[in-house]
């Protein structure tokens, strides 16, 4: 597992640094960037959420910090072991390993809840600039892809090439880690379309939309998991435009913003998971003027939708983008919303025409 070597080296450097501090009689310390709200900034120039520069230091010889210091070191040691073994687990599996034993000859348990180990994993990710996936920790995965894309997955001792145009009705299940021992072999598609709902993805996949339009069709199956966000970022890095297609409601907008700008929780890896170039394809309130039949198929906006629209109107970024202001104000005024499923009303394949028209006419929101 060649890719893991860089992470292995970084953990070893971290450990060696501590050893040197001990040997030279210094108070061993661990330094990371603060992941507090106050240190999360919206990077206006690049358009995503990231950490600021505030640091957090943890010292071994400090009554309030020594336990956390030890725990952090124990986690780093376990991840080092996973990398050496070339085996993956999850943060839950890591927790049970920590609970079982801290190491070869330490039988003391200093972890009682997973809530203790989780933030420390993030500390390490930030401190040595690795993602947990590089530490052989799988995150939850969700999301499916179809299209003219081949992926080479080096999996144990085998190299398997997965052709996302030959996955039938199922599609390729997007893994947790799309960086290590996995690479794009062949990206022939012209753009990426991210469809909120699996139901619509299946509709479009059945029509072979991705084949007819030569695009890559992704569904995050709701809110996008880390792996799916990272994959979208990587496809954008290949020069492919990314269009996001969701419901016109609070949840749909949230899915879009998370893909585009990242999220508070993942601000510490913002650059790697955000795709600021992404555009919002629809559905929009403005579609009600373009497609008359949709007026028959609106549903009542919920309080959550209306509240969220109000909140978004306060965002500096939104204020600068008139199309969004108009969208949000229209929902607040009319108190209705629109689902992407409604596009199936007149005929099941209408959703294909809709996307095609939108892209042809560059009819999307920033």
CB of 301 to a second copy, least distance (A): 16
CB of 342 to a second copy, least distance (A): 5
CB of 176 to a second copy, least distance (A): 7
Annotated catalytic residue 96 = yes
Largest Cα separation within the chain, whole Å, is 76
- Residue closer to a second copy, measured from CB, 37 or 169: 169
CB of 171 to a second copy, least distance (A): 6
- Residues near a second copy (CB under 8 A) are 82, 85, 87-90, 92-93, 96-97, 99-101, 109, 138, 140-141, 144, 151, 153, 155-156, 160, 162, 166-177, 182, 198-199, 202-203, 206-208, 293, 296-297, 339, 341-342, 344-346, 348-349
- Residue closer to a second copy, measured from CB, 111 or 268: 111
Q: Which two tokens stand for residue 220?
A: 């995050």
Cα angle at 285 between 202 and 242, to 5 degrees? 50
Q: Which two tokens stand for residue 18?
A: 């501590």
- Residue closer to a second copy, measured from CB, 293 or 307: 293
Q: Say how far apart CA 207 and CA 347 lie, in whole Å.
A: 13
Q: Which two tokens stand for residue 310?
A: 């109000």
CB of 62 to a second copy, least distance (A): 29
Please answer whether residues 296 and 345 qualify as being in contact, where contact means their C-beta atoms are separated by less than 8 angstroms: yes
Using the structure block, give the residue that is written with the tokens 């799988």.
138
- Residue closer to a second copy, measured from CB, 29 or 81: 81
One DSSP character per residue, 338-350 reads B-GGGGGSS-TTH
Cis bond before residue 283 (omega within 30° of 0):
yes
Please answer whether residues 234 and 178 qualify as being in contact, where contact means their C-beta atoms are separated by less than 8 angstroms: yes
CB of 97 to a second copy, least distance (A): 6
- Residue closer to a second copy, measured from CB, 61 or 173: 173
Burial class (CB in 10 A: 0-12, 13-18, 19+), 350: middle
Q: Say how far apart CA 152 and CA 322 lie, in whole Å.
A: 43
- Residue closer to a second copy, measured from CB, 152 or 271: 152
CB of 153 to a second copy, least distance (A): 3
- Residue closer to a second copy, measured from CB, 29 or 150: 150
Q: Say how far apart CA 339 and CA 324 lie, in whole Å.
A: 17
230 membership: H or E segment, kind and range: helix 226-237
Question: Quick one: which of 187, 121, 203 has its CA closest to 148?
Answer: 187
The single residue of 48, 96, 315, 364 carrying the catalytic annotation is: 96
End-to-end CA distance of the chain: 40
* Residue 136, φ and ψ in degrees, nearest 5: 65, 30
Please answer whether residues 242 and 279 qualify as being in contact, where contact means their C-beta atoms are separated by less than 8 angstroms: yes
Measured in residues, the chain has a length of 366
Q: Which pairs from 16-24 meet CB under 8 Å and 24+ separation?
A: 18/73
Residues marked as catalytic: 96
């Amino acid at each position: 597992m060649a890719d893991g070597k860089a992470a292995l080296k970084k953990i070893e450097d971290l450990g060696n640094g501590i050893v040197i501090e001990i040997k030279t009689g210094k108070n061993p310390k661990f330094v990371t960037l603060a992941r507090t709200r106050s240190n999360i900034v919206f990077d206006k120039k690049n358009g995503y959420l990231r950490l600021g520069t505030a640091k957090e230091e943890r010292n071994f010889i400090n009554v309030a910090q020594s336990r956390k210091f030890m725990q952090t070191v124990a986690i780093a040691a376990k991840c080092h072991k996973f990398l050496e073994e070339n085996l993956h687990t999850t943060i839950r599996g890591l927790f049970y390993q920590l609970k079982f034993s801290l190491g070869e000859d330490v039988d003391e348990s200093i972890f009682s809840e997973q809530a203790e180990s989780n933030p420390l994993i993030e500390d390490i990710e930030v401190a040595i600039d690795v993602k947990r996936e590089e530490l052989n920790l799988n995150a939850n995965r969700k999301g499916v892809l179809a299209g003219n894309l081949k992926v080479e997955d080096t999996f144990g001792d085998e190299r398997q090439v997965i052709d996302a145009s030959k996955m039938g009705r199922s599609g390729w299940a997007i893994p947790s880690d799309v960086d290590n021992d996995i690479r794009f072999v062949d990206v022939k598609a012209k753009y990426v379309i991210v469809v909120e709902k699996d139901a619509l993805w299946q509709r479009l996949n059945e029509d072979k939309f991705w084949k007819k339009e030569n695009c890559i069709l992704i569904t995050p199956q709701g809110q996008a998991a880390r792996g799916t966000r990272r994959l979208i970022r990587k496809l954008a890095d290949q020069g492919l435009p990314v269009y996001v297609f969701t419901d016109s409601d609070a949840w749909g907008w949230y899915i879009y913003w998370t893909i585009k700008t990242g999220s508070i929780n993942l601000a510490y890896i913002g650059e790697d998971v955000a795709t600021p170039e992404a555009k919002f394809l629809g559905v929009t309130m403005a579609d009600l003027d373009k497609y008359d039949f949709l007026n028959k198929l609106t549903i009542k906006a919920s309080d959550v939708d209306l509240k969220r629209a109000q909140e978004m109107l306060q965002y500096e970024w939104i204020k600068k983008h008139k199309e969004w202001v108009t969208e949000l104000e229209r929902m607040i005024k009319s108190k209705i919303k629109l689902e992407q499923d409604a596009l199936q009303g007149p005929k099941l394949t209408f959703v294909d025409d809709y996307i095609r028209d939108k892209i042809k006419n560059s009819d999307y929101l920033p």
